Amino acid sequence: MGKKRILSGMRPTDKLHLGNYEGALKNWVALQDEYEIFAMIADWHVLTTEHLGIPNLNDLIREVTIDYLAAGLDPKKCTIFVQSDVKEHAELHLLFSMITPTPWLIRNPTVKEQARDLGLIEKDEEITSINYGLLGYPVLQAADILIYKADAVPVGEDQVPHIELTRQIARRFNYLYRKEVFPEPEALLTKVARLPGLDGKKMSKSQGNVIYLSDSPNDIREKIKTMFTDPLKVYRTDPGDPEVRGCPAFAYHKIYNTSETEQIEADCKQAKLGCVDCKQLLAERLVEALRPIRDKRTEIKREPWLVDEALRKGTKKAKKIARDTMNEVRDVMGLRH
């Protein structure tokens, strides 16, 4: 039996940051020996929240591909492609939209939360006031996943409702057209580190609190200097409590400086360590931890054909599978080819 297949993707709204890496990409790299991974660059999904598009989208698609490769995705094991290069996703999305009851979308808590985060609806407002593109993005996501008949999707807890919707759509399609065309993909819940941004909030470009995988050592040092710490530890002589008071620098130490974490916590609590020194140490550990990704990025930038080659190969494979699935779908639905 072949490897099980996984589909996952990222929206190219920006170069990838440490939150993207720790929250997803690192996990894909770890899974690529065990699973057949389809790593999509979800450019159509960008339009669900930025319907006028973003001016440098093509450059960002390239940067995200470089980040995928530099982080360790191997194009020999893993299919890297851009969503809009495989137009069949749009056709399947259209066909799925015909069989998806609107209440399934309106009830989706993740869409509601996203609409609220984007300021598109008020706290208690109904979700019906947003564009279909955003309301229906879980349907496009279902098409993204099911067109490759993926067995699983690696997700965090907050994405589970989307996968459930994908499973419902697959079930409904199979039932209506009396054929098991689509498998019901599992949510592959994986424990991943959630990294806060420099200010302790969720890491995001719009918050200006990100560390990019492409940041230079000096960028990293400068950014870490600005990082928030335990708010009650103002002077070195103030005892801190980094775990309880959620010091973002400490959260980073726990990932990038595991051997010294215990000592740092003890010294911080006993007021033997100041935040300036602690962050300096963190910056050096982080510079070191990201060195392999930075080096690989430099190598890829010198050999840009590596990016073209990875995308060319990935798109070819993705298209072939997507076309086969659509032929099957058109057959069972009695549609023209």
- Residues assigned a catalytic role: 123, 202, 205
Q: Is 273 in the site for ligand SF4 (CB under 6 A)?
A: yes
Min CB(293)–ligand SF4 separation in Å:
24
- Candidates 249, 300, 318, 322; binder of ligand SF4 (CB under 6 A) is 249
Q: Which of 275, 191, 284 is nearest to 241 (CA)?
A: 275
| Residue 242 near ligand SF4 by CB under 6 A | yes
* Near ligand SF4 by CB under 6 A: residue from 233, 285, 296, 297: 233
Spatial CB neighbours of 295, under 8 Å, sequence gap ≥ 6: none
**Residue with tokens 């719009």, as numbered in its chain:** 206
Q: Which of 136, 138, 197, 240 binds ligand SF4 (CB under 6 A)?
A: 240
Stretch in the footprint of ligand SF4 (CB under 6 A) among 52-60, 127-135, 272-280, 289-297: 272-280
Out of 82, 275, 293, 329, which residue is the one contacting ligand SF4 (CB under 6 A)?
Answer: 275
- State the minimum distance, in angstroms, from the CB of residue 212 to ligand SF4: 21
Burial 93-113 (b: 16+ CB within 10 A, else e): bebbbeebeeebbeebeebbe
Give CA–CA dist 88/47, Å, rounded. Answer: 17
> Which one, 65 or 229, has the nearer CB to ligand SF4?
229
Q: Identify whether the C-beta of residue 275 lies closer than 8 Å to the C-beta of residue 242.
A: no
Distance separating alpha carbons of residues 80 and 41, to the nearest angstrom: 8
247 binds ligand SF4 per the rule CB under 6 A: yes
Q: Is 41 helix (H, G, I), strand (E, B) or coil?
A: strand
The binding site for ligand SF4 (CB under 6 A) comprises 229-230, 233, 240, 242, 247, 249-250, 264, 268, 273, 275, 278-279
